[in-house]
Amino acid sequence: MSTPQSARYSLRPTAQLRRRKLVNHAMEALGTLAALAAVAVLGLVVWAVAKRGAGALDKDFFTKLPPTFGETGGGIANSIAGSIVIVLVATAMALPIGVLIAIYLNELAPPRVRRSIGLVLDILNGLPSIVIGIFVFGLLVIGSGQAAWKASFALAIIMLPLVARSTQEVLALVPDVLREGSLALGVSRWRTTLGIVLPTALGGIFTGATLAVARAAGETVPLLFVSSVTTSQLSWDPKLALQSIPLTIFEFLESPNPDDHEKAWAAALVLMTFVLLLSILSKAFLARSRRKLTR
């Protein structure tokens, strides 16, 4: 039936083509598996924290102070208050300065300066937080003692490159037409920047801020050095050394008491929920501002 002619020009895949397709499928499967594995690890961590932490989570956990030695029960109200104070003060320091840096780099700086300071920001972003902790300890704590605002200063250094870089990224998306239009109308540089450029980029600035807050809220090492010798009283005063959630987890975890381990999981659940919600929020902000700017 089949002539030699049609056999020669057969559309059936040759052995080599089959092998190539096999290799392709194998590689695609590996890629898919790797992605699934990463998602699975996230799922495992979240699941473990949720399962072990949920047991100790009740109203007392959020509103009561830690028990005195030998007692059970109690909560971590002081750590929650401390974390809120430390992160808020840090944001108040890092956000304006980060935005100023981004304005300078994107709007005003000559290219050479922009590149060098950008490099410094990237390097600062890559510095281990433990190095920043030691720096702030030496600069502010030696001689005058620990305080929550000093921990905020350390966190602000960690947040600064994140805020500056993400603000700079959105500023770069603001169309030049807007700037040039404003300048051509005789509006001065500072009014153009404050009145036209910044409002357009506001969404992106919020993205950077939430991302930075999420990062700072989970930082442990600088707090360990700068705001760890605390009382277990509830306080909102940034001039005192305040307890914080990450530090509480770290200390509970080192404790030999299994009741404390359960509390470490519960505190981890609170911290993780907060951080993950913030990172989802920042993604939503980012998507929104990108849509608005690139429309």
In the bound state with other proteins, the residue whose beta carbon lies nearer, of 97 and 172, is 97
In the bound state with other proteins, the residue whose beta carbon lies nearer, of 95 and 240, is 95
In the bound state with other proteins, the residue whose beta carbon lies nearer, of 34 and 178, is 34
Segment interacting with other proteins (CB under 8 A) among 2-10, 64-72, 75-83, 244-252: 244-252
Whole-angstrom Cα Rg for the chain: 26
SS3 27: helix
Does 242 bind other proteins (CB under 8 A)? Our answer is no
- Write a three-state SS string for 94-146: HHHHHHHHHHHHHHHCCHHHHHHHHHHHHHHHHCCHHHHHHHHHHHHHCCCCC
Does 221 bind other proteins (CB under 8 A)? Our answer is yes
Does 128 bind other proteins (CB under 8 A)? Our answer is yes
SS3 65: coil
Q: How many Å apart are CA 235 and CA 78, to the nearest integer?
A: 7
Quick note: the x/- pattern for other proteins over 26-55, rule CB under 8 A, is: -xx-xxxxxx-xxx-xx-xx--xx--x---
Does 170 bind other proteins (CB under 8 A)? Our answer is no
In the bound state with other proteins, the residue whose beta carbon lies nearer, of 85 and 249, is 249
SS3 274: helix
In the bound state with other proteins, the residue whose beta carbon lies nearer, of 283 and 291, is 283
Place of tokens 């052995």: 15
The distance of closest approach from Cβ of residue 160 to other proteins in the complex, given in angstroms and rounded to an integer, is: 7
Does 172 bind other proteins (CB under 8 A)? Our answer is no
How many chain residues interact with other proteins (CB under 8 A)? 87
The distance of closest approach from Cβ of residue 289 to other proteins in the complex, given in angstroms and rounded to an integer, is: 16
Q: Name the token pair of 129.
A: 């937080």
Does 255 bind other proteins (CB under 8 A)? Our answer is no
Cα–Cα distances (Å) from 163 to 9, 72, 82, 199, 214, in that order, read 62, 42, 22, 16, 12
